[in-house]
A and B are shown apart, each in its own frame.
Chain A
Amino acid sequence: MSDLLTIAGNTYSSRLLIGTGKYKDFEETRDAIETSGAEIVTVAIRRTNIGQNADEPNLLDYITPDKYTILPNTAGCFTAEDAVRCCKLARELLDGHDLVKLEVLGDQKTLYPNITHTLHAARELIDDGFKVMVYTNDDPIVAKELEDMGCVAVMPLGSLIGSGLGILNPHNIKLIMEEAKVPIIVDAGVGTASDAALAMEMGCDGVLLNSAVAHAQKPVLMASAMKKAIEAGREAFLAGRMPRKAYASASSPLDGLSR
């Protein structure tokens, strides 16, 4: 069955997008990401260490741009100006690659998105030719505004970044999906496989996660679980669940019993 995720005209067979943060080392990062089956992989852009470990390994030697779609994020940016600057550096770093994950954060405690700055940054980036996948809250009005502006994917949080609390307001995510014409990807909050499966059963187009795998006791095994959860949830969505009923309905015929 051909069931592809399309983002900005490119198609992907995996609906799991995965981050590269918080792993023990690059070997574990590589193994977990390979196991997850993800094709879109997020990275952060930071200052190069000067004058130390000149031969230290580089993330992009392990997660290579010829194998994965590298999605640079603006994590750590608290203003639109910083986020736009970060995206421009990423584009230079990745030889003109213009797909970015925009996140502009509000404060350290919650890492909740600052929507005012997010809207400003999205506008500026889109005008500059970037394809913007945007991290946002689960407000359907804001999500629609970001889509109308030209973002190529809208990525509402399930719950706070790194919290592992799952999808706290599935009703809002459904409201966002009802109106959306671009992919809706739950970004942040997934804690374990059932959270990812739930997002997909609801009809989300994909899930972006990092901590749930990197902070699992066995990250590579959790990466495998996430791959299956995403696939199972997607198939369940496409299959269409049975209606919920208040009372029992026998699966075996009640007639014809031996008396």
Chain B
Amino acid sequence: MKLIVNGDTLSLDGNTIADLVAQLELTGRRLAVEVNRDIIPKSQHADFTLNEGDVLEIVHAIGGG
């Protein structure tokens, strides 16, 4: 399915947030995920089913003051 992840269109071979995170080779990273502006807790990533056209934000911590 097609998703918009951090502003870019992406094709996911799978169904869940965990599938997406794995496809992006980000498994195990400290991340936060929003789907259509709702934060989905880490504990739900394995079960949360994505839908065609969902808009996701995946964020992490970087240097800042």
Contacts and interface: CB of A to CB of B under 8 A. Distances in A.
B6 interface: yes
A21 B37 CA distance: 27
Contact of A51 (B24, B62, B64): B24
Contacts of B13: none
B60 A93 contact: yes
B39 A19 contact: no
Contacts of A210: 64-65
A72 B41 CA distance: 18
Contacts, number: 104
B20 to A, nearest CB: 10
Interface in A228-258: none
B10 interface: yes
A12 to B, nearest CB: 18
Interface of B: 5-8, 10, 24-26, 29-34, 37, 39, 41-42, 57-65
6 A-B pairs with least C-beta separation = A44-B64, A19-B65, A210-B65, A54-B25, A93-B32, A20-B63
Interface of A: 19-23, 29, 42-48, 50-51, 54-55, 58-60, 70, 72-73, 75, 85, 88-90, 92-95, 161-162, 208-211, 214
